[in-house]
Structures are given as C-alpha cells and as structure tokens.
Chain A
Amino acid sequence: MMKNKFTMHVDMDAFLPATEEEKKYMVQMRPSSTFFKDGVKRLVKNRVALVSFIIIVLVTVASIVIPFFWPYSYETMLGNTPGKPVDSSYNNLPPFTYGKTEQARIEAGENIFPHVFGTDAAGRDYFIRVVYGTRISLAVGFFASIIVLIIGMTLGSIAGYFGGKVDMILMRIVDIIYSLPDMLMVILLAAVMKLVLAPVIEGTILAKIGSNIISLFIVFGVLYWVSMSRLIRGQILSLREQEYVLASQAAGAKGGWIIRKHLLPNCISVVIISTALQIPNAIFTESFLSFLGLGVNAPMPSLGSLTSDALNGLISYPYRMVIPALVISLIVLSLNLFGDGLRDAFDPKLRG
C-alpha cells in the first residue's frame, strides 16, 4: 500500500474501523489479577488450609452464636435456687441426664433442654462452659495478636525508617527482651500484674473483663512485640534495597510513592502472616497460664482452666478433661495450618 515510507501522505487504512476479527484480538483473555486475588486463588487451592479455615470459622461462629439461644448460662449453678437448700443432684451429672426437679418436670410432660456434656462439680452446664471457654480463648488470642501487631509495627517501622541512633537503641532493647526467657517472664508478670491491677480497675468497666485477662494483654504487649518489630524493621530495610525500588527511583518516583506502592504492600503480607501465626501462640499461652491458675478469673471459664479443673475428677469424669483438650488442640492445629497456608499463598518466597 505504502510504497514510499517517507511520504508525507497519511495512510488512510489506519483510520478504518476495526473489523470483528481484529476486535477479537483486543479482548482481554482474562481479567488482570491483583496480588490479593492471586493469593486467595492459591489459598483456596490449598485443601488443608481451606479445611482449617472452615473449621476456624465454624468454631468462632458457634462460640459467638450458641450462648444467645442456649437456655443455660456458664455461671448458673443449676442446683442453687434462692431460698432453698442446694440441690446436689445437679452436681456432676453425666451427659444427657437431668437433676431431680428437672426429672419431675419431664414427668409432668415438659420439654427440658438436655445437658449435652452433663454438668460440672458445681452444677453448671458443661457444654456452655466449653463454648464460653472457646470464646474467651479465641478472643484473647485475637486481641493479644492485634496488640502485638500494633506495638510491633509502630516500633519496627520507626526503627527501620529512621535508622541511626533510634534504630540502635530500639534494637538493643529488642535484643535484651528477645533473650529473656519469655514463658518465665510471662508467668511472673501475670502473677504480679493481676494483684497490682485488681485494685486499680475496681469498679470500672475493665473489672468486668477481669484483671487476669487485662494483665495477660499487657504482658503480651510488653514481651511479644519484639519479634514482630524485628520482622518489620528487617522487611523495610531489605525492601529499601530491592532492585524494583531502584528502578522506581530511576524512573523518577518520589519517596511517598515508593513507600505506598512498593514498601507497604510488600510488608503487609508478612505482617498478616505473622499475625495469623501469633494467634495460636497467644491462645496457647493463655491456656497455659489458665492451667497454672494464672489465667481468667473464676467463674469465667477458658479452655485451659477447664482442662485443669477437670484433672481433679479425672477418674470419674475423663470426658470433662478430654473435651476442652480436644477443642484447644483443634483450634491451635487449624490456626497453625491456616497460617502456613497463608504464608504459602501470599509469600511464595518464604516457602520452604
């Protein structure tokens, strides 16, 4: 068509409407995928992680929803009615059996909600105690991780961003806290903190949560931010040196753009993953402390305190120990497997 390449004549063909065939080539074969979508896709393909996620969601939803319609509460001792002597027939009921007054009401044709796991030594419905304990354990794990995340991220990014003296001082503190035997310090702080806190929060809304749980949060905040801040500082330091940052700089990008477009998105996956892996850790620590009697305040149950309480009646009522023990193992295992799945899906570089 165009014989002379150097002609000034406009090639009119280039301005013809596109044919159907040409249009076909322009159609996007598949929508462009974002980093997040890619990760989710990989995550869904991972059967183990998916099943773990479903288990976590089911357990969480159950622990939130069940107490709303369950007819018993975790602290009501069923044998105690005001003004009457304690009815001991409600204590230590085996699963699906009833106390004396309930028996009478059943015979009168009433429908009584069964005690699925029986009752404990004080006549409290055991099923709802396990559900509540799960709720407490999950909540403690979740909020403790959030606290660790906030403190660790702030201090870590400060150290990584400012560098110099600030970085050096912060990192020396991190070094020392890191080399402290964490469990011993947790036990010590938790034991003391609840005594110190109890009079301080007396009468406030915090007293409802219990001095033990609050001291647990404080202990977590004080001790466990170090690994998170180390991680984030390291991330920011190494990301700053990456070639794509250099390329971006060479292309004329400003600092703010680089931080928003390159540093933060690349940090965020590591942050989410380590937060996810922190949750089972926190649950584990809480249950450990509860087992030693340093966790939640009675009568509030947690999975750890339920297991430890059940040890006394182990010979007659082994299921009371086995049930919370299995629930806690299930939660910790699923959270760990899900966290591993998250890591594989969102940070393929870390995959071993």
Chain B
Amino acid sequence: MNSKTLFYIIKRIGLAILTVWVVITITFFVMHAIPGGPFVGEKAISASAQAALESKYGLDKPLMEQYGTYLKDIITRFDFGPSLKQRGRMVTDIIADGMKTSVKLGVISAFSALIVGVVLGSVAALRRNKLIDKIIMVFTTAFVSMPSFIIGSLMLALFSVKLQWLPANGTTSAGLILPIITLSLYPMAYITRLTRSSMLDVLGQDYIRTAKAKGVSAGKIIFGHALKNSLIPVITYFGPMLAYIVTGSLVVEQIYAVPGIGRAFVSSITNRDYPMVMGTTIVLAALIVVMNLISDILYKVVDPRINLE
C-alpha cells in the first residue's frame, strides 16, 4: 500500500463521516420542520398536558440546543431517545430487536445473490451466445427491470396464494424463504450481468492466451486466472447491493409481514413516531455509507491500478 492509497483511504473515511453527519443533521432538521410537532394530530390534549409532554421530551428548548443534545447522545451513548408510540421503549432497543431478523434476511440474501450470480455469470460468459447464455440474459434483464415490490407481490400471489407451497407470513424460518428469494433476485441478476461482462473481458486478455499456449488446463485457467480477475468489478457492487437490500427490505418485510427493521421503519412513518423515524434513518444510512466505504477501499486495495479519482 503506497502513500497515495493511504491518502485516498483517509479522504474516503473523512467523506463517510461527513456524510453520516449530514444525514443526522438533515434528518433532525427535516423532522423538526413538520408543522405542529409530534403531539399534534393525536387525541386532543390540553395545552398544559402538551407543555408537560414537550418539556419531558426536551422539545421546549431552543432548536440548536436540542440538536446538540441529540448529536451528543448518538455519539456518546448511541442513544436515539425514547419512542413516542411504543411507550417505555427506547428507539435503540427497537432497532436492535428488528435488526436481528433483518440482518439474517439481508445477509442470506446477499450471499445467495453473490454465489448464484457469479456462477450464472461465469456460465453465461463461458457459453457465450449459446442457448443457456441467452436464457440467462433474458431472465436477468427481466429481473433487473422489475421493482422489488412487484417481484414480492407476484411471488406471494403465485407461491403462497395460488400454489400454497410456502407460507405468506414471514415470522417463521420457512416464511423467510420467499422474502430471501425476493430480495436476492435483483442483485443476483445484476451480479450475473456484471460477472458475465467482466469475465468476457478477462477471457480476451493476453495472459489467458499465454496460459492456454503454455498448455494450462481449462479448469486452472477459469478458476486460477479468469474468475479471480473478473470478480474485481463485483466488489464495487457490494455497497449498492447493501443499499438495495436495505430499501428492498422496507417493502419485502411489509409484503410478507416480517418483523424486521424495515417494517418498523415504515410503520413509524405512518404512526408519526418521530424519534423512531430519525433513529432508523440514521442507522440504516450509516450502514449503507460504511458498506460503500468498505467496498470502495477493498476495490482500491485489491487492484491498485484502479484510479478512483
């Protein structure tokens, strides 16, 4: 690792921290721009009760002071304050609870997308323009164009309502099968296309020809040279894939009633549970930013020739 790479990494980490701070700031001020504050719109409460509530949650202090406290609580104690709708529970606890299911869902989806995508992409590249390549490309094109909520709804209609093969409720382990397939289809299709094109690119390189000329076996060429090099672009997709899985989980958990963070987020928006909306947005955003950071740095370290500027 030379000093240039190091400089890049430091700069990139700085940008990531800045981004998370911007997210926190935007979220805080945007939520506080809502007219009437969080206690309006519920059952009519008296002015004194409202004032009591506001002083309890610190809403009567000046905005900048509230902002300072909020920022300090997040940094020092990872504390997003109490939930307004689930009385007596802290936002951090609710998020941690939902994360258990969502992380399981997301990690399994990401890995299945990665494995299936790389295998299908390599097969398509090695059998270029054959029937199997064409079939793979048609399906991946279709999956890339279908929004996740459409895939989810259609699969729910087909597999749990029409055929009744799999449960529609995502609370059990078997019930997680459909959500995982739904979430992984798009990244799978994307990785397939990415692997195919980069594999085709690598197979045309001189060093592959040299290896062939030296009499290296086909298996060794594919696994030793081609696959390793064609996976480099796939690394860049890690960040966007996580972003997709996070946003996709919002609808997928809604469709299949999975008790995860995505469903908690959506219902907190409809319930106007402001601290919960803010906390979830910040945690998910930080997750995406960190993942983008890791995938960018990994990309740079794996292949130092790449100039990201």
B34 engages A195 (CB within 8 Å):
yes
- CB pair A181–B246 under 8 Å, yes or no, is yes
List 7 extra interface pairs beyond A328-B150, A329-B146, A333-B141, CB under 8 A: A181-B23, A183-B246, A191-B269, A280-B145, A304-B149, A318-B157, A333-B145
Q: Is the CB of B30 within 8 A of A321?
A: no
Closest to A190 in B: B269
B284 adjacent to chain A (CB < 8 Å): yes
The segment out of A97-105, A248-256, A265-273, A291-299 that lies at the interface is: A291-299
Which of A175, A188, A293, A352 touches B197 (beta carbons < 8 Å)? Answer: A352
Cα separation A294 to B270 with both chains bound (whole Å) = 9
Residues of chain B touching chain A, judged by Cβ–Cβ distance below 8 Å, are 15-16, 18-19, 22-23, 26-27, 30-31, 33-35, 141-142, 144-147, 149-150, 153-154, 156-157, 161-162, 197, 243, 246-247, 250-251, 254-255, 266, 269-270, 277, 281, 284-285, 288-289, 292
- Residue pairs across A and B with CB atoms within 8 Å: the count is 118
Closest approach, in angstroms, between the C-beta of A296 and any C-beta of chain B? 15
Q: How far is the CA of A311 from the CA of B197 in the complex (A)?
A: 37
B interface footprint on A186-215 (CB within 8 Å = 1, 0 otherwise): 011101100110010000000000000000
Complex CA gap A287/B23 in Å reads 24
Closest residue of B by beta carbon distance from A328: B150
A294 touching B269 by the CB < 8 A rule? yes
- From residue A295, how far is it (CB to closest CB) to chain B in Å? 12
Minimum CB–CB distance from A219 to chain B (whole Å) comes to 11
19 contacts between A and B (CB under 8 A): A176-B15, A180-B285, A181-B243, A181-B285, A181-B289, A185-B26, A188-B31, A192-B30, A192-B31, A196-B35, A199-B35, A280-B145, A291-B251, A293-B270, A311-B153, A314-B161, A333-B141, A333-B142, A333-B145
Interface residues of A (CB under 8 A from B): 175-176, 179-181, 183-185, 187-189, 191-192, 195-196, 199, 280, 284, 287-288, 291-294, 304, 307-308, 310-311, 314-315, 318, 321-322, 325, 328-329, 332-333, 336, 352
How distant is the Cα of A179 from the Cα of B12 in the complex, in angstroms? 11
Which of A292, A318, A332 is B266 in contact with, Cβ under 8 Å?
A292
On whether the beta carbons of B251 and A292 are closer than 8 Å, the reply is yes
Across the A-B interface, give the 7 residue pairs with the lowest CB-CB distance, nearest first. A183-B247, A333-B145, A181-B288, A325-B150, A179-B19, A291-B149, A181-B285
Given A183-B247, A191-B269, A318-B157, the answer on whether A287 and B30 have CB atoms closer than 8 Å is no
When the two chains form the complex, which single residue of A180, A196, A328 contacts B34, counting CB atoms closer than 8 Å?
A: A196
Least CB distance, B288 to chain A, in whole angstroms = 4
B153 in contact with A176 (CB, 8 Å) = no
Please name all residues of chain A whose beta carbon is closer than 8 Å to the beta carbon of B141 when the two chains form the complex.
Answer: 333
